[in-house]
Structure 1
């Protein structure tokens, strides 16, 4: 008997209500946590696939796109070795893996669901491989509460969260962005995944609008991830001083070449992608 899985695009914030992604599955493992349902699928085309509450989070085949693009545009824009980086969410570990390639002194990762992290360590070792690094401080708590009251602690804050449903909903609000700004050091950079401008246009637009109320520099940018709704995905950078489009091309090229010599070639991000990703199609911010 053939086994298939379909993620139906539905729910709060989803503009597509009659679409989904279907994959052929070889076998499946499931678990229930106090926060959500975990499903690990061994798929024919994408390798192991992590699904939370019916929504695809990552796959072995295309995870590098998401994780490289949520990390490297900001870290290369920073222009210095980061001392301390905060990740909110990111339970599969891929974001931390990419951050460590920039040799930070410390990475705090705040994830509300400990069982997701343990599941990823066990089932997705190529993605979660950096979570046991001595520089990584795993904190199992509410990211919104964790960041409240912190001042000038982090060089970069990365929000690798799920859709704005349940515990993640507060990570899309202006008050959270204000707390994040206060928690950044001078010249620091905030990054969040900001949904699909095609499949979740309203949510994407709200993220960008709310960030503009908090940060003078706001830059949304795109990557194309086959297993995410519509394939068109966005991230948004916010900063007081650091502008990814103001980075000198020669300086970025030199930094990238040195990075590759020391850490190896990346699969998606490069200097051309760095600038090109910030070119946004006309329809995204056009009123309909």
Structure 2
């Protein structure tokens, strides 16, 4: 008998993957968590019925959350990752030697626990001495931090359940206050095919707070529609003014110095959403 996992990405559309093995299905204190192994994408973390990461395509999302912002900031010493308990963004952040400390705040400790066990390629740097892992509420952490971080990265699930407050204007205002005077933040902001209204709302909210706002995109095949957007808000530094000849070649599979500015060139229908 074949077993298939299906994610309903809208009420009338979804993706499906053939399952080789199911490692974990558990209702945590915050969400439904599953860890499965699929034929096409390998091991996969699923939260509340949504694919969060897979062994095959995880590098795209994690690299694009981390590197555009870190290569835009001239000296990112202190970095905060909100969410991201799988550890993929942290892994990418630590590729930057000038980062002295990376703080991860993940609300669900089970995500960290099972990622370390079943996704060691992704979670392998969570025990690095440059990393502080806090199991707690990222929303509250942000609002208690003032003038503390050079870069803040929001690696959240979609805006449902425990992640819903991470898409509110008050959260972005809190991030602004948690950043130092030349700080940068980046957040995943979903896809323009099914969540155009969300992208517009986030873009409007962030533009009311940050003087420089840029949207960029990447292809993540297991995420709804495959076309995924990220929003960057900056107090001072513009990612489009970075001298890409000064960006070093590092160990990546998706991001590169040549892609840095190219990622901000959006399809016209997406460009129109964020005018």
**What range describes the TM-score normalised by the shorter chain of this pair?**
over 0.9
1:100 aligns to 2:86 (yes or no)? no
Deviations 1:138-161 (Å, cap 9, x if unpaired)? 111111111114221001000000
1:148 aligns to 2:143 (yes or no)? yes
3-state secondary structure, aligned to 1:278: coil
Please list every run of 5 or more consecutive structure 2 residues that lacks an aligned counterpart in the other structure.
none
| Distance across 2 between alignment mates of 1:203 and 1:60 | 27
Which residue number in structure 2 is paired with residue 237 of structure 1? Answer: 232
Supply the RMSD in Å over aligned alpha carbons: 1.2
Decide whether the 8 Å contact of 1:205 with 1:285 is kept in 2: no
TM-score by structure 1 length? Answer: 0.91
Which residue number in structure 2 is paired with residue 109 of structure 1? Answer: 104
Please list every run of 5 or more consecutive structure 1 residues that lacks an aligned counterpart in the other structure.
11-16
How many residue pairs get matched? Answer: 271
Deviations 1:160-190 (Å, cap 9, x if unpaired)? 0001112211111111111101111121110
3-state secondary structure, aligned to 1:227: coil
Q: Where in structure 2 are the equivalents of 1:208-219 lying within 5 Å?
A: 208-219=203-214
Deviating above 6 A after TM superposition, structure 1's stretches of 4 or more consecutive aligned residues are none
| Distance across 2 between alignment mates of 1:226 and 1:286 | 23
TM-score by structure 2 length? Answer: 0.96
3-state secondary structure, aligned to 2:72: helix
| Distance across 1 between alignment mates of 2:155 and 2:45 | 15
Which residue number in structure 2 is paired with residue 204 of structure 1? Answer: 199
3-state secondary structure, aligned to 2:166: helix
| Distance across 2 between alignment mates of 1:215 and 1:131 | 30
1:270 aligns to 2:230 (yes or no)? no
| Distance across 1 between alignment mates of 2:245 and 2:255 | 12
| Distance across 2 between alignment mates of 1:32 and 1:123 | 17
3-state secondary structure, aligned to 2:265: coil
| Distance across 2 between alignment mates of 1:240 and 1:155 | 10
Which residue number in structure 2 is paired with residue 55 of structure 1? Answer: 50
Which residue number in structure 1 is paired with residue 22 of structure 2? Answer: 28
Deviation at 1:285, TM superposition (A): 5.1
| Distance across 2 between alignment mates of 1:286 and 1:277 | 16
Match of 2:119 among 116, 119, 124: 124
| Distance across 2 between alignment mates of 1:31 and 1:128 | 19
3-state secondary structure, aligned to 2:139: helix
Which residue number in structure 1 is paired with residue 171 of structure 2? Answer: 176
